[in-house]
Amino acid sequence: MKVGDVVVSKHGPYSGHLCCGTGTYTHAIVVSLEPFAMVSEEGDMLWTQVSPDEVVALCQSSKEVQDVVLARWNRDILNPRNRRSPG
């Protein structure tokens, strides 16, 4: 698996879909391997508590999609209010 991969869930009752508090997504894009993180294609959802073992990569996303999701990831990790405290 690598940054830019399109991934889907491979476990649970929603196999093939990724869930969040506001609904489900058919897929996400890997934005970081360490720590592992994924962003929805539209950039409106960020997953940081998912293990790479819970998803399977389907293909590599387009450059345009990668630009959107990496902008979301960079915006979140560069904003100190969005950083999690250790522990």
Domain count, the chain: 1
- Higher-confidence position of 84 and 50: 50
Instruction: Name which of 55, 37, 54 is nearest 46 in CA terms.
Output: 37
Q: Is residue 72 in some structural domain?
A: yes
Give the pLDDT confidence of 8-64 residue by residue, as tens digits: 988 755 566 676 767 788 899 999 999 999 999 988 889 888 899 999 999 999 999
Q: Is residue 10 in some structural domain?
A: yes
> For residue 47, which amino acid is it?
W
- First-to-final CA distance of the chain: 27
Q: Is residue 58 in some structural domain?
A: yes
Q: Do the beta carbons of residue 29 and residue 42 sit within 8 Å?
A: no
Q: Is residue 87 in some structural domain?
A: no
* Helix, strand, or coil (residue 23): strand
Q: Is residue 64 in some structural domain?
A: yes
By residue range, what is the domain housing residue 54? 5-82
